[in-house]
Chains A and B, each alone.
Chain A
Amino acid sequence: MADQPETPPIDELLKGLWRENPVFIHVLGCCPTLAVSNTARNALAMGLATLFVLVGSNAVISSIRKFVPQQVRMASYILVIATFVTIVDYAIQAISLDLYRALGAFIALIVVNCIILGRAEAFASKNTVARSALDGVGMGLGFCLALLCLGVVREVLGYGTLFGVSLFGERYQGWVVMILPSGGFLTFAAWILFANWLRKRGASS
């Protein structure tokens, strides 16, 4: 069933973590990356929600890839993705209202996260269900990781806490800019710089 040259299945999982990391390498999905990474908790929740949608939509899209005509494939993908996003939306409301309020409109906006449609079009529509699901897990974890990288830095500097636990005691004066959108851009730029430096170093050695 392999429509592409055979690679070990575990590779589909691992590539999303670093080599093809959706945020740091592909620079996709920047909108939620910047907006919902002001605390580590929000970042983790957003990452997990996206992970779930990515795995679900990749698996379903892969399983229907032979039945869906070319002309309507995008519409079908969006339908499937929107369904999973709405399920996640309900699930988060059921799990925690506080979390739901913190994530706000960004849960619904997972529908237009280009990582998800990107993986559907570039990978799930050409590969087996198992491989697509693995790809979804890998890319989802990569997205999660990237959001956490930003979230941890911004929360520690901005609030002086990590996952709500105070690190520096009461006297720490929060670095407010890090919690605001501009802090997202600063942190994002710093991480991209770091990622590119790592990649360059890996390529030259």
Chain B
Amino acid sequence: MNGVAAGLPARSETWPMYRSMVGIGLLCGLLLVGAFQITKPIIERNQAEALARAIFQVLPEAASSKTFALGDDGRFTILEGQPVGQTIVYGGYDATGRLVGVAVEAAGMGYQDTIRLLYGYSAENDAIAGIQVLDSKETPGLGDKIQFDPEFLANFARLDVTLAEDGSRLAHDIVSVRHGQKTEAWQIDAITGATVSSNAIANILNKSATRFVPAIRAHLDDFRETE
């Protein structure tokens, strides 16, 4: 092997490279498709279960749930099959089939990354009945307390979202206040050391509730008719 062969590899030298790369690539591809096919139904089931758990968490009285899509006309219709780009909310019903509340997903910027959460709206109480953080990357030990700190989560057991008289917006914006200074039912008592994350939760809830609470309130029958 010298001279010409070194500068311009002969076919016999490149062939093993192609052969091994393509061969390994194909085999790996097959393995990946196999792994994907096996785990896909399990992963989907896990995600559905996690969502169902979250719905029952934010609507403690609910025993079953139905998925609704928000149409262009502002009305909610039961969604069959997989959602494709529609806005989705979940109706929660107790054992007798009575509507106990509507669970809505909301998202917004936190301290480090987007926080996604689910909250339950109870029309009977004009209040948020619970929240569950679905996805967040808040600082461990500080901001991540928004997910499990019992004192903080107690804020959302009955967070007032009464509508203004014309029914188009909230009577009071949801705001977070410094720890220990909560005086009104629409205020959130922030976590010490996690002010930004607490504010983020308040902003996410306020923005989403301003949009959804009037919409849900105006068409409560959409959820009841399906009983």
Contacts and interface: CB of A to CB of B under 8 A. Distances in A.
A94 interface: yes
A66 B2 CA distance: 24
Given A83-B32, A87-B31, A179-B141, A97 B20 contact: no
A54 to B, nearest CB: 17
B146 to A, nearest CB: 15
A76 B42 contact: no
B35 A87 contact: yes
Nearest to B137: A104
Does more than half of chain A's interface fall in helix, strand or loop, or is it mixed?
Answer: helix
Contacts of A93: 39, 43, 46
Nearest to A76: B24
A69 B139 CA distance: 47
B39 A94 contact: yes
Contacts of A75: 21
Given A72-B17, A76-B20, A91 B135 contact: no
Nearest to A71: B17
Nearest to B36: A90
A68 B38 CA distance: 30
A91 B140 contact: no
A68 B35 CA distance: 25
A186 interface: no
Contact of A176 (B21, B31, B42, B141): B141
19 contacts: A64-B20, A67-B16, A67-B20, A67-B23, A68-B20, A68-B24, A76-B20, A76-B21, A79-B21, A79-B25, A79-B28, A80-B24, A83-B32, A86-B32, A93-B43, A93-B46, A101-B135, A176-B142, A176-B193
Interface of A: 38, 64, 67-69, 71-72, 75-76, 79-80, 82-83, 86-87, 90-91, 93-94, 96-97, 101, 104, 158-159, 174, 176, 179-180
Interface of B: 16-17, 20-21, 23-25, 28, 31-32, 35-36, 38-39, 42-43, 46-47, 50, 135, 137, 139-142, 193
